[in-house]
């Protein structure tokens, strides 16, 4: 039942992106840049949002950023994400050590 909940919740980005809660931020991919206004279009599961780049530097097309109340908060570090995923996989194997 628990894993079922995880499975169901995984598919709800369309409601999440417009969820107007304060501290939540979502990973979104930059799909268009407008340097003149310092704005970008970001995509989560094909839902597009306009985001301000006022709080970040050096964002490029294809980058993943955390989007919070219409602003990119920072870039997501792919290498670090992979390391964390590897830790999850190890947890059940190495914990008795």
Partner 1 sequence: MKYISEFRHQDLAQQLAKGIAQTVDPNRHYRLMEFCGGHTHAIFRYGVQDLMPSNVEFIHGPGCPVCVLPTGRIDNAIQLVERQDVILCTYADLMRVPATGRNSLLKAKAGGSDIRMIYSTQDALKIARENPEKQVVFFAIGFETTTPPTAVAIKQAQAERLGNFSVFCNHVLTPAAMQAILDAPQPVAIDAFLGPSHVSTVIGSQPYEIFTERYAKPIVIAGFEPLDVMQSALMLIRQLNEGRHEVENEYSRAVTRQGNQKAQALVQEVFELRPQFEWRGLGLIPDSALKLKAGYADFDAEQRFNMPAIQASDIKGCECPAILRGAKKPQDCKLLGTVCTPENPMGSCMVSSEGACAAYWSYGRLRKAG
Interacting residues toward partner 1 by CB under 8 A? 1-3, 5-7, 9-10, 13, 18-27, 29, 44-45, 52, 54-57, 64, 66, 68-71, 73-74, 76-78, 80-81, 83-85, 87-89, 91-96
Query: Taking the complex as a whole, how short is the minimal distance between the CB of residue 56 and partner 1, in angstroms?
Result: 7
* Shortest distance (Å) from residue 8 CB to partner 1: 10
CB of 90 to partner 1, least distance (A): 8
Q: How many whole angstroms separate alpha carbon 52 and alpha carbon 33?
A: 10
CB 24 within 8 A of CB 11: no
């Amino acid at each position: 039942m628990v894993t079922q909940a995880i499975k169901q919740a995984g598919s709800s980005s369309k409601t999440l992106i417009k969820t107007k809660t304060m501290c939540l931020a979502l990973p979104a991919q930059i799909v268009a840049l407008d340097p003149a206004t310092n704005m970008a279009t970001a995509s989560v599961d094909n839902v597009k949002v306009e985001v301000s780049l006022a709080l970040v530097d050096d964002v490029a097309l294809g980058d993943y950023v955390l989007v919070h109340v219409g602003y990119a908060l920072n870039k997501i570090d792919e290498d670090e994400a992979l390391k964390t995923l590897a830790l999850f996989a190890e947890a059940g194997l190495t914990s008795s050590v």
